[in-house]
Amino acid sequence: MVNPLYLIIISLMAGFVLPLLDRVNRKLSLATFIGVLLANTVITGFWMHGFIQADLGTLSFSTAGFTAPLSINFQLGILEAFVLLAINLIGLLTGIYLLKKFNESPLAGMILFIMVVMGANGLILTRDLFNAFVFMEILSISTIAIITLKRTNESLSSGFKYMLASGIASIFFLLGVVFIYFFSGSLNLDFININFTDYRLIAVYMVAIALLIELKMFPVNGWALDVYESTDAGVATIISVINSTAIAFMFYKIMPLLPSNFLYIFGIIGALTYLMSNLMGLKQENARRLLGYSSIGQMGLLLASIIFTAGLEPVLRIMIVGGFFLNHLIAKTGLFWISGLIKKEKLKDWRVIRSNKSLMIMFGIFIFALSGFPPFAGFWAKWEFVKSLLAGQNILIIALILLGSLFEVIYMFRWFIQTVKGEYKEDELSIMPSGKVILTTLLGTLGFGLGILIMKNYYGFNFLFTLPILSLLFIYLIDFLPAKIKGIMSLGGLAYYGYYLYTLVQFENPIQILFGVIFLVGSGVNLISTLNRSEISKGFYGLLMMMIFSFGSLLIARSYLEFFLSWELMTIASFLLILRGKNAQKASLMYMIFSIAGAYLMMVGFGFAPELIGSSALITGLTYVQLPLISIILLALGFMIKSGVLGVHVWLPEAHAEAEADVSSFISAILLKAGIWGFLLVAISVVWNAPQFDVYYWMGWLGVFTALVGAFLASFQEDAKRLLAYSSMSQVGYIIAAISMLSHLGWVSAFYLSLNHMMFKSALFIAIAGVYYRTHTRNMYEMGGLIKKMPLSFISVLISIIAVSGVPPLSGFGSKWLMYSSFIERGWYLQAAVLFFASAVSFLYLYRLIHTIFLGQAKYEHKDVKEAPVWFIIPQYIFIGAIMVLSTFPNLLIKPLSAMASQYFNSNIVIDGYNVYSSYGHWNGNLIMLVTMGVFIVPLFFLILFIGKITKVKQFNIVYAAERPESPQTTHVAHNMYAHYRKALGGWGKPRIWDFWHGSAEWAHTMGDFFRRIYSGNGQTYLLHIILFFVVVFFLGV
């Protein structure tokens, strides 16, 4: 093992020798510069390798021929090696990134850079407190000096502020260190063996506070923001990554000295920093400063994780802290680098990034990584961290962190969406230096690879769970192919996947097969409609397959983590798919925010859940554990958010409406079912162990009102897709309510409805997609009379809406019958009445849908409209066919569904031939079909026989006050069709939930704006913050 002193020696020698070399040749000094950084990286790499190969424990290296505590010693363990490797690697890469800059500026820049890295290395390695002080000074002085690499008023003044703050911090640190020596008689961390209680506390307190200041904790971090904003991108990187990491590591080293109550407070400060800086970031419009807020937040998170993982086993601790660290390291480095390439201050000007495809992808990767999405390290870290915090009952910390994380997601994704979707002019194009772009790409790939590494090696995930990611990558590679080829390949892949799951994985539970049909067969049929894409559709199939395979993974997940992983992958894919829509900025952002909020609820919910026994699929595994109430509530809420339950439904119409036409059907018909699947899993566990009827009673009400409100909202829409979206919300409400009943019949009806909804909603969305494809509008009042142009679409819509409405004889009635029977049987009478009301209201929107599009007066501009493309027609008729078959032979479905539900409940429906008996009534689908056909045929024949001569008339030949109407626009009753009803509802018709969420968002922004006023820009105010922070935190702790 190479002596770690060499890290210092090499850097110092280089530092001293560079001024001489530079006299000879600048090239030489540049080579030396890179050589030193490379040597550091290689050395640390060897250590890491050595530590991975063999468990060497921690090695101590002393100086001056004496052992510690006489002399200063360095300690090298796997942790040190890991952190050192990471920061030296970033140092090397950033050094390369800055090479051009260094070539043009004075030599001092390079030396200072080396010294920053050396200071960080020394700070991490040393065990001597005073030595740490020296290295800290090296670190901060070199950092401050290098800030002026970019020479502006701003960077100078921010450097000065930094100096003042770090000056005070170093005074505290020095005093603290000396007092520690005075009280304990040693400066070496390994030999300090007294407790710092009573008045001695101040010694360690001062050291800790100094580190917190240097770590830029809230609120003593105003100067740091200025620095991030004003300095060169590369320098900001090393401050954010190298500098902060070294200090965080130092904090880790002095942790054993700190009393536990203070540690707790520092942990809270860390979490609070995370929350506050992200809250304040909401209002930020300057990209660099935003990254500054984010950096500071991440440091807070890192600090909190260091403190609150103290009791964990080392490997897990490394997973958590190391995960956050790596994530921050890579994402923030990448983002800062990109900011250096973009050279735009305003967030919205970043759209020029679109001129460079790979940079844009990297930007996305870094943002996803920073937001804690799989497979990046932050995801795993957050998962384990929340779990461990829960084990320690630190609810407050979880709340702070998750809320902070949510804010971070909000501004990061707002930025991302703005960047990816914003219009940009060609002349804004800027040519990016390709070397730096490659470097950034390398970094992004590294981050991605690391995540995959954790996934494969630490957790040992099955191939199936990496499939979503792999498919994305694979299709990205063949993205140059035409859409049809990719589509057919996807279809083939999906078919094989389904076959593979069915035959080889072998479902443990028939319910899995049901949802497999919904997820995979449904997706497969829906996929046909995407074959209509004629262009290349870059990126589309990759994301689509990623989403579909994630559905599959959800089905077979065997642990909470597998489930959550697949869930998050699904969220990524669906978010990006929605984002593809033309005006989907707002929609996709809302989708992301709500998804993340839901995911966090789930994460906490899973954290509370007891460990699973064995490795069977979740649907079996969950039956062996008893979920605590809190877990049930959180999980159910998380899943309900994804399903768009009342109160959190606001994302749903936007996402459905703004997504591309053939994507909406996936979202509505299948994605919402993923929420249902999760909700069902929780319910299964509950049913099997201790039925929590109270909670589910209220969830039932929630579902019922979702159904009602969804139906009303759907009735008041002008936009066809929005109407269908609210209709989906309404239907999901039925399903949620039915599952919440926790009864046999309830579940049968929920299953029945889930499958039915998948079919008819797919058909409807695809039909509307066809209409949109032809008419280029989603506003129903702009259509009309299309029945003559698009008869096939009309028929499929007709049959679908009959199925939705539940009018006999189609399969919809089956679900209604099961539903009401189960509600009455379960004793949920009022709920049943509300549902009945909801389904009556649903006629309003269904009629509106079919009438305003297909009936009434045709518009002139649609006179050349043709039938929808065949690729849209095929899947519709597959679904329609399935609906017809299941309507005629309902037992095909009822029997297996009943069997599924009777795994958990005593069956109380009897199936006798075509008769289905519940304890309240009966229903014979076959006979109904026959009678209906009979009563339909009789008047039909009568009419055909006796009608006499039929005269066909032209469009406007109607009895209209003896006048010919002027135009279809005035004659087609479509706009605001149910105005009376809206009026009748009065105050109930106001969009209160929208107002609530808007208000909340507004409030958060106002709060962020309010708090960030403390950063007055005045260096002296920042000093005052520091002093007051010192005082207040001390008295809080005491």
Handedness of CA 391, 395, 397, 403 (dihedral sign): positive
934 binds another protein (CB under 8 A): yes
- Phi, psi of 922, deg, nearest 5: -145, 175
- Evaluate the omega torsion of the peptide bond into residue 653 and state whether it is cis, within 30 degrees of 0: no
CB neighbours (10 Å) of residue 487? Answer: 23
Please, what is the minimum distance in Å from the beta carbon of residue 694 to another protein? 17
The residues in 107-126 that bind another protein, with binding defined as CB under 8 A, are 108-109, 111-112, 115, 118, 122, 126
**Which of 507, 487, 485, 484 shows the shortest CA–CA distance to 495?**
487
The residues in 212-231 that bind another protein, with binding defined as CB under 8 A, are 222, 225-226, 229-230
Please, what is the minimum distance in Å from the beta carbon of residue 759 to another protein? 19
Q: Which stretch binds another protein (CB under 8 A): 86-94, 656-664, 762-770, 914-922?
A: 914-922
Q: In terms of CB distance, is 441 or 955 closer to another protein?
A: 955
Q: For the purposes of burial, counting CB atoms within 10 Å of the CB of 982, is it exposed (0-12), middle (13-18) or buried (19 or more)? A: middle
Candidate residues 739, 841, 849, 873; the one interacting with another protein per rule CB under 8 A = 841
884 binds another protein (CB under 8 A): no
47 binds another protein (CB under 8 A): no
Please, what is the minimum distance in Å from the beta carbon of residue 974 to another protein? 8
- In the shown chain, the binding pattern of residues 232 to 271 toward another protein, with x for contact by CB under 8 A and - for none, equals ----------------------------------------
Q: What is the DSSP string of 828-863?
A: -HHHHHHHHHHHHHHHHHHHHHHHHHHSSPPPGGGT
Alpha helix locations (H) across 857-924? 870-888, 891-901
Q: Which stretch binds another protein (CB under 8 A): 31-39, 598-606, 691-699, 798-806?
A: 798-806
**Which of 263, 239, 240 shows the shortest CA–CA distance to 251?**
263
154 binds another protein (CB under 8 A): yes
1027: its two tokens = 């002093």
984 binds another protein (CB under 8 A): yes
* DSSP reduced 3-state for 103: helix
972 binds another protein (CB under 8 A): yes
**Which of 72, 75, 83 shows the shortest CA–CA distance to 40?**
83
- Calpha distance 995→424 (Å, rounded): 32
Looking up tokens 């399969």 gives 811
Q: CA end-to-end span of the chain, whole Å?
A: 45
Q: In terms of CB distance, is 573 or 1026 closer to another protein?
A: 1026
Contact 225, 293 (CB under 8 A): yes
Buried b vs exposed e over 111-128: b needs ≥16 C-beta within 10 Å?
Answer: bbbbbbbbbbbbbbbbbb
Candidate residues 948, 962, 966, 987; the one interacting with another protein per rule CB under 8 A = 948
The residues in 597-656 that bind another protein, with binding defined as CB under 8 A, are none
Q: Which stretch binds another protein (CB under 8 A): 45-53, 633-641, 744-752, 966-974?
A: 966-974
The residues in 381-420 that bind another protein, with binding defined as CB under 8 A, are none
Please, what is the minimum distance in Å from the beta carbon of residue 943 to another protein? 6
Candidate residues 28, 42, 59, 157; the one interacting with another protein per rule CB under 8 A = 157
Candidate residues 15, 270, 468, 487; the one interacting with another protein per rule CB under 8 A = 15
Contact 196, 183 (CB under 8 A): yes
The residues in 433-472 that bind another protein, with binding defined as CB under 8 A, are none
Contact 655, 728 (CB under 8 A): no
Candidate residues 1, 16, 430, 477; the one interacting with another protein per rule CB under 8 A = 16
Chain-centroid distance, C-alpha 9: 45
Please, what is the minimum distance in Å from the beta carbon of residue 162 to another protein? 9
- Evaluate the omega torsion of the peptide bond into residue 375 and state whether it is cis, within 30 degrees of 0: yes
705 binds another protein (CB under 8 A): no
Looking up tokens 């539903």 gives 819
Please, what is the minimum distance in Å from the beta carbon of residue 541 to another protein? 38
Q: In terms of CB distance, is 678 or 808 closer to another protein?
A: 808
Q: Which residues lie across from 719 on neighbouring strands?
A: 779
282 binds another protein (CB under 8 A): no
Please, what is the minimum distance in Å from the beta carbon of residue 765 to another protein? 21
- In the shown chain, the binding pattern of residues 740 to 779 toward another protein, with x for contact by CB under 8 A and - for none, equals ----------------------------------------
Q: In terms of CB distance, is 341 or 531 closer to another protein?
A: 341
Looking up tokens 């170093």 gives 170
152 binds another protein (CB under 8 A): yes
Please, what is the minimum distance in Å from the beta carbon of residue 640 to another protein? 25
Amino acid at 33: F
Candidate residues 936, 994, 996, 1003; the one interacting with another protein per rule CB under 8 A = 936
Please, what is the minimum distance in Å from the beta carbon of residue 1024 to another protein? 6
Candidate residues 421, 484, 851, 1005; the one interacting with another protein per rule CB under 8 A = 851
805 binds another protein (CB under 8 A): yes
- Calpha distance 374→562 (Å, rounded): 11
- Calpha distance 920→1007 (Å, rounded): 56
832 binds another protein (CB under 8 A): yes
70 binds another protein (CB under 8 A): yes
Q: Which stretch binds another protein (CB under 8 A): 131-139, 484-492, 632-640, 687-695?
A: 131-139
807 binds another protein (CB under 8 A): yes
- Calpha distance 701→931 (Å, rounded): 36
Q: Which stretch binds another protein (CB under 8 A): 435-443, 582-590, 758-766, 786-794?
A: 786-794
1035 binds another protein (CB under 8 A): yes
Please, what is the minimum distance in Å from the beta carbon of residue 873 to another protein? 18
Q: In terms of CB distance, is 318 or 783 closer to another protein?
A: 783
844 binds another protein (CB under 8 A): yes
* DSSP reduced 3-state for 267: helix
The residues in 178-207 that bind another protein, with binding defined as CB under 8 A, are 178-179, 181-182, 185-187, 198-199, 202
Q: Which stretch binds another protein (CB under 8 A): 305-313, 599-607, 611-619, 837-845?
A: 837-845
Chain-centroid distance, C-alpha 1035: 39
- Calpha distance 566→501 (Å, rounded): 16
Q: What is the DSSP string of 115-130?
A: HHHHHHHHHHHB-BHH
797 binds another protein (CB under 8 A): no
Q: How far is CA 173 from CA 193, 206, 211, 731, in A?
A: 19, 6, 8, 63
Please, what is the minimum distance in Å from the beta carbon of residue 671 to another protein? 29
Contact 321, 302 (CB under 8 A): yes
Binding-site size, another protein (CB under 8 A)? 176
889: its two tokens = 């032979």
Candidate residues 5, 255, 517, 911; the one interacting with another protein per rule CB under 8 A = 5
Sequence-distant (6+) residues with CB within 8 A of 622 are 612, 681, 682, 684, 685, 688
72 binds another protein (CB under 8 A): yes
Sequence-distant (6+) residues with CB within 8 A of 827 are none
The residues in 652-691 that bind another protein, with binding defined as CB under 8 A, are none
1036 binds another protein (CB under 8 A): no
Contact 695, 911 (CB under 8 A): no
Q: In terms of CB distance, is 395 or 931 closer to another protein?
A: 931
Q: In terms of CB distance, is 96 or 108 closer to another protein?
A: 108
24 binds another protein (CB under 8 A): no
- Calpha distance 243→241 (Å, rounded): 6
Rg, Å, the chain Cα set: 32
The angle subtended at Cα 882 by Cα 876 and Cα 885, nearest 5°, is 140
